[in-house]
Structure 1
């Protein structure tokens, strides 16, 4: 009898399908309080995605009309030693760019060997929603083999290569973060949001509380363009407190962010607040939410070859893979024969 019980227990796993288990996407855990100091303290929250390459704000944001006026002299922000070193063996030319949604202009200093033309730089800066653009000070456009950018606490943005509009919005997020002189990303509210959440949008967001704030700025702009939805592949559940903190900021009031004037009531710290002579009548369109992908469930059975025994189509239909099924069938027969032989022996 003992041998019979042993045989039944040994064979049972071969005939009982273990089912599928969805992975645990996020586990609540204690998160150390980030320090908004220099050098930045990296975050320990998990990243939802590798980067933001899955979407492009530039395809959705309108471009205001603009007027470019060359300047005869460089402003101090474009003639300091650091800025000069970013334009080796060349020189800068400065221009004032006035958009139809603001009565004050933005200064762009472009190195004459920069990858991006002055017109292209003016257009991409213009696509930054005016509610964010008003915090941007001087823009420096310099050459580089790889696109990147950085923003000073003064609101000056240095652009290298030809970054997409998403990067410009990210840098404007930094300018907004530091507009008051004390970063919002170092506030107790932002610290509490990070401590309560379990994820950040992407790998770069893990760099620091400040970089996460700037990446969340991009995410907020996308969300407001798509009726509150996030890009495919992102979930708001694990970063709900960060989203709520951003949504509570007056800058992310949709009517002001995508409005047609930089003269906004909450403009205490903005660098551009003069209303345009004539307020444009264009309307930033809304876009439908994109469908979120469904993550396929994976088999948890550990037999070799069984992982390929089923494939799932997009509609959820499962199909047997005959080669893998045959392999598993043979494996079962061999194991049964071995167990029976051992029992009889």
Structure 2
């Protein structure tokens, strides 16, 4: 049976915005080793999320009017693509009247149904904090498998997975969602507060090796385990014998965001972020038409607003190293944990 509300509520410290750079030596969550064995995000966790997150029904339309969201155009061109290399897909979910405009590289193995379904399994309280989803080639994005910035998520075709979405969307929660009594009113930034760090110190292991690299990544990987713990019968304890060593991290996440991420609690979008403007993809003239493919994902398996959306790439290899990507024009890369965080995880050769 799905756990509808988190059963554990951990006490929060009074608000203290400990806003130092989490990436500085001594301030990252690296004072203890990662849990051992590590959670198998790519296989066991992914399977649990795919099988137990409820699918929100959706329909999609493929645009053929030569138009594309401005932010999609900007990002894909920064990677050497032409905007016309991308299929623009309008996806409408049953829990939100406003559709999402997604940009999928033509020829991707992730088809439009899977693109809509995977995102559609994410709880609406997370999904509504995203402007656009993009799918690109890993060969173009590498060493990144995914990134998020300015309320946009780009994922490589090879790694279009539920647990990666959960990680990226956890950065969105960290950016946008107020934690009463902890973050300033109407503000996010939970990962940089004393309340988050104090609960980390209650554990004997970090949630993951990648979660030791910075406080936002610690929160985001904790979010993956937390969502698994909420939706999969038996929770995290069924997949890791040493779950108690990192328990306070994912329990703290559930206490802060359980009302947002637990399926069946938040039912409709109320904070849907605004899309970027629609512009011409190339030199062609707009004819104002869309092509309805009749896409329906209900039965298949399968800044502008200011945002600290950290980025993440989970590539199924236990040893990872972190570096800065080449900057995208017009996007300011600043310290991890502050707004516009851009961090890539390398595939180790």
Question: TM exceeds 0.5?
Answer: yes
Q: Does the 8 Å CA contact 2:173/2:188 hold for their aligned counterparts?
A: no
- Among 153, 166, 183, the alignment partner of 1:157 is 153
Q: Does the 8 Å CA contact 1:78/1:92 hold for their aligned counterparts?
A: no
Aligned to 2:226: 220
SS in 1 for 2:87: strand
Tell me how many residue pairs correspond in the alignment.
234
Aligned to 1:99: 93
Matched, 1:64 2:50: no
Aligned to 1:271: 273
CA displacement at 1:36 relative to structure 2: 4.7
Q: Does the 8 Å CA contact 2:102/2:133 hold for their aligned counterparts?
A: yes
CA displacement at 1:139 relative to structure 2: 0.8
Aligned to 1:246: 253
Which structure 2 segments of 5+ residues have no match?
A: 1-17, 178-186, 275-297, 299-349
CA RMSD of aligned residues (A): 3.0
Query: Larger relative CO (CA 8 A, sep 6+): 1 or 2?
Result: 2
In structure 2, what is the Cα distance between the partners aligned to 1:170 and 1:271?
A: 18
Structure with greater proportional helix content? 1
Matched, 1:43 2:29: yes
Matched, 1:229 2:235: yes
In structure 2, what is the Cα distance between the partners aligned to 1:42 and 1:67?
A: 43
- TM-score, normalisation: structure 1: 0.59
Flag the 1:36–1:216 CA change in 2: closer, same or farther, 3 A. Answer: farther
- Among 170, 173, 176, the alignment partner of 1:173 is 170
Matched, 1:205 2:204: no
SS in 1 for 2:201: helix
In structure 2, what is the Cα distance between the partners aligned to 1:202 and 1:96?
A: 35
CA displacement at 1:100 relative to structure 2: 0.9
Q: Does the 8 Å CA contact 1:102/1:261 hold for their aligned counterparts?
A: no
Flag the 1:203–1:126 CA change in 2: closer, same or farther, 3 A. Answer: same
Per-residue Cα deviation, 1:92-127 (whole angstroms, up to 9, x for no partner):
232221111222211211122434222221111011
- TM-score, normalisation: structure 2: 0.59
